[in-house]
């Protein structure tokens, strides 16, 4: 009772604005100024979640990723470093929408009672935030919530860091075997640096790489990490201004590059990518996404997106598995969404690597990837990673190589499992993965790009009066509602060579997205325009 009073007293400082909140694919996300009450309540839920899982550490990340600077958001991270279990999203939404403190306390007690949670049992929460100006104020709201629980809750503040670092720390903190790594930001850098050193061996240092940090927290991570790998690689960091108002994600970052299909102006400056075969990469605002690019023949912009990274990684790992002579024990698979370019899917299938298509949102891809021994999952926008199953790791640890080559391949696979973030998509870890593969293959960007040619594609954002009437099936590739609309889309697609188009409501913005691809750019644009008209 005392505890409930303490929570209520603290909650009174954070009244709910007249807004309806939903815990969506990226947690809660809206204007930062609307979020204090939501963050407070997320703190309460994090404690409940931890208590429900016998005091396991839960993560809270305050970020709005690639969204404009005034936005912010919050999401919970489960003990294994994964996204919050889906059944709890409704609890999050319920707490966020309680109108009064009294409603909030009742809803909170109801959730606790329903799951037989003792609200005075111990809990543990670790949190972090990105460089947004609204971050510190929101963190105050979180701290007000957590401290209402007194000594029952163990709190760790990681400060300003990337989303993938927070996921890493959560996973490492909960790892009883203590083999995943030290549960600190330094532990994360040390782990990546050690794996990179193993994989580069006595190869020449990697070519300097331009990295557009989206004026976000990735700039901080890159600078700190750079010190751990000074003699192996150098970063030429661009867009590292985390202080100027309005700079974050503005005209830069992975989302800008992927949606506009062009270089950020700062990277297009003369001299930046001028040397033949120089490559660049863009992080998004919280450094969990990455896309690559280069100028073909020094002129033409070529995007190497999440699909290209997935193909590069899957084929490389498949090669190593064969070299280790473990192909009967370790099956590599790829997980994509409907936004994956049709050419990439075809290319992977032709190489007899299985492909799964899931709904948008990394939690869906992540779960599908767990079904493979080694599951490579990427969204086309550059969010993804590679998961090594416990069984695959055991096979690698127990392998008895019968030649130096088999031994080397086995060790490289193990080092890759250390280099690649096993919790979530991670721009820095993915960057290192790409650089390692290119070094091993002795490839530049052009050779990597040569595998397949993307089909021309368009992604259109359509504002509609009510996006909730759009319902999908078949991994979001078909509409079941509004009735009859899918038939019209199918007819439009059938008229176009290599045509493909689908419509789905966004999980993060109030809009419907239309995707189209076809054999030529004019045909693609036309298909996108026709389907957009059908949706309006
Ligand atoms: P929505 O808004 O549901 O399309 C967007 C991205 C997703 C994912 C989430 C979370 C596209 C087309 N959609 O989702 O891939 O990254 O944001 O950030 O890129
Ligand atoms: Zn992000």
pLDDT tens for 228-263 read 999 899 999 999 999 999 999 999 999 999 999 999
Distance CA 476, CA 358 (A): 8
For this structure, is 244 an active site residue? Answer: no
Give me the pLDDT at residue 204, please: 83
How long is the chain?
536
Give the residue extent of every domain in the chain: 2-160, 186-304, 306-449, 457-535
* CA dist., res. 138 & res. 391, Å (int): 41
Q: What gap in Å lies between CA 406 and CA 195, rounded to an integer?
A: 19
Q: Can you name the residues that pair with 279 across neighbouring β-strands?
A: 294
Which CATH architecture group holds 2-160? 3-Layer(aba) Sandwich (3.40)
pLDDT score at 401: 96
Q: Which of 436, 512, 419, 500 is nearest to 470 (CA)?
A: 512
Active-site residue among 65, 124, 343, 417?
65
Residue among 440, 199, 415, 195 at smallest CA distance from 315: 440
Percent of the chain with pLDDT over 90: 94
In whole angstroms, what is the distance from residue 489 CA to residue 27 CA? 31
DSSP 99: S
d(CA 93, CA 87): 11
Equal fold, 306-449 vs 457-535: no
Measure the CA–CA gap between 211 and 214, rounded to whole angstroms: 9
| CA pseudo-torsion sign 19, 23, 25, 30 | positive
The residues, any chain, with a CB within 8 Å of residue 331's CB and separated by 6 or more, are: 354, 372, 373, 374
Retrieve residue 432's tokens.
């290192």
How much is the mean pLDDT over the chain? 96
List phi, psi (to 5°) of 98: -65, 130
Both tokens assigned to 138: 């929101």
pLDDT digits (tens, 9 = 90+) for 447-486: 999 999 999 999 999 999 999 999 999 999 999 999 999 9
Cβ atoms of 457 and 341 within 8 Å: the answer is yes
Compute the distance from residue 255 Cα to the ligand 1 centre, in Å. 10
Q: Is the pLDDT at 275 greater than 90, yes or no?
A: no
**Four-way CATH pick for 306-449: 3.30.360.10, 3.40.50.300, 3.40.120.10, 1.20.140.10:** 3.40.120.10
The architecture (CATH level 2) of 457-535 comes to: 2-Layer Sandwich (3.30)
Cα of 490 vs centre of ligand 2, distance in Å, is: 33
The CATH number for 186-304, chosen from 2.40.160.40, 3.40.120.10, 3.40.50.880, 3.90.1300.10, is: 3.40.120.10
Q: Whose CA is nearest to atom 18 of ligand 1?
A: 26
**Residue of 25, 476, 509, 515 to test ligand 1 pocket, by largest number of atoms within 8 Å of CB:** 25
Question: Is this complex's ipTM strictly greater than 0.95?
Answer: yes
């Amino acid at each position: 009772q005392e505890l409930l009073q303490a929570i209520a007293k603290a909650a009174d400082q954070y009244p709910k604005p007249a807004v309806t909140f939903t815990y969506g694919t990226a947690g809660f996300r809206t204007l930062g100024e609307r979020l204090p009450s939501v963050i407070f309540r997320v703190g309460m839920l994090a404690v409940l979640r931890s208590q429900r899982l016998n005091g396991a550490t839960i993560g809270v990340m305050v970020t709005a990723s690639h969204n404009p600077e005034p936005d912010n958001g919050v999401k919970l991270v489960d003990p294994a470093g994964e996204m919050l279990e889906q059944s709890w999203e409704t609890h999050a939404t319920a707490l966020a929408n309680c109108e009064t403190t009294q409603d909030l306390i009742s809803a909170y007690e109801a959730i606790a009672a329903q799951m037989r949670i003792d609200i005075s049992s111990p809990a543990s929460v670790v949190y972090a935030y990105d460089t947004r100006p609204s971050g510190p104020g929101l963190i105050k709201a979180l701290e007000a919530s957590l401290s209402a629980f007194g000594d029952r809750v163990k709190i760790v503040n990681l400060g300003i860091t990337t989303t993938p670092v927070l996921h890493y720390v959560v996973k490492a903190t909960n790892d009883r075997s203590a083999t995943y790594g030290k549960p600190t930001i330094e532990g994360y850098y040390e782990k990546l640096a050690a794996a990179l050193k193993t994989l580069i061996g006595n190869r020449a240092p990697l070519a300097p790489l331009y990295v557009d940090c989206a004026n976000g927290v990735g700039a901080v991570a890159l600078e700190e990490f750079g010190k751990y790998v000074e003699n192996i690689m150098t970063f030429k960091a661009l867009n590292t201004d985390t202080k100027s108002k309005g700079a974050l994600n503005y005209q830069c970052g992975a989302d800008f590059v992927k949606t506009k299909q062009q270089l950020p102006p700062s990277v297009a400056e003369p001299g930046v990518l001028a040397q033949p075969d120089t490559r660049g990469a863009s992080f998004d605002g919280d450094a969990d996404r990455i896309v690559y690019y280069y100028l073909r023949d020094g002129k033409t912009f070529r995007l190497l997106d999440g699909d290209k990274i997935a193909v590069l990684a899957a084929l490389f790992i498949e090669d190593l598995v064969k070299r280790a002579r473990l192909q009967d024990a370790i099956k590599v698979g790829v997980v994509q969404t409907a936004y994956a370019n049709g050419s990439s899917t075809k290319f992977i299938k032709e190489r007899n690597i299985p492909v799964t298509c899931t709904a948008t949102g990394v939690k869906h891809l992540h779960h599908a990837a767990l079904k493979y021994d080694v599951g490579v999952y990427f969204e086309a926008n550059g969010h993804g990673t590679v998961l090594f199953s416990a069984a695959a790791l055991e096979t690698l640890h127990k392998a008895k190589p019968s030649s130096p080559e088999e031994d080397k391949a086995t060790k490289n696979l193990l080092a890759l499992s250390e280099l690649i973030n096993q919790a979530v998509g991670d721009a820095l870890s993915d960057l290192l993965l790409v650089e390692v593969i290119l070094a091993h293959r002795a490839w530049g960007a052009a050779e990597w790009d040569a595998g397949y040619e993307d089909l021309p594609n368009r992604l259109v954002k359509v504002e509609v009066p009510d996006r909730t009437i759009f319902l999908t099936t078949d991994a979001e590739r078909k509409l079941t509602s509004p009735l009859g609309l899918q038939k019209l889309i199918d007819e439009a697609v059938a008229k176009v060579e290599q045509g493909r188009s689908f419509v789905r409501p966004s999980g993060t913005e109030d809009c419907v997205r239309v995707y189209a691809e076809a054999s030529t750019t004019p045909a693609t644009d036309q298909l996108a325009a026709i389907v957009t008209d059908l949706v309006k």
